[in-house]
Structures are given as C-alpha cells and as structure tokens.
Amino acid sequence: MPVTLELFLFILLAICAVGYLVKEFQKTRKRTLGILLEFMVLFWSIWRISTIII
C-alpha cells in the first residue's frame, strides 16, 4: 500500500476513534469495554502514524 494512502487511512481511523470517545464520555452510562477498545485503536493508529512519518 502506498505510504500516503496508509497515512491517510490511519489518520482517519484516529479521528474516528477520538470522535467515538468524545461521544461516549458525554453519555451518562459509559461502556467500559467500548472505551477500552477505542483507546487501544487510537494508540495503535498513533503508533502507526508515527512509524510512517519517522
């Protein structure tokens, strides 16, 4: 996969994870498993973005 496309996809994935986390933290009843999984996705995508850039 070209590096530019891969970088773009991981940036979109990180943005979606942040959006989900913001929406989930605004709820009165929070789903712990969903938050945990989205944090893992967010950190994984940040790690991949940083390895692509560096």
Q: Count CB neighbours of 39 within 10 A.
A: 13
pLDDT of amino acid 54: 84
Residue 30 is predicted with a pLDDT of 85
Distance CA 9, CA 5 (A): 6
pLDDT at residue number 48: 93
Enter the tokens of residue 5. 């496309």
Full pLDDT tens readout for the chain, 54 residues? 688 999 999 999 999 999 999 999 999 898 899 999 999 999 999 999 999 888
Per DSSP, 25 falls in state H
Residue that has been written with the tokens 């692509």 in this structure: 52
Write down the domain spans for the chain.
Answer: 3-53
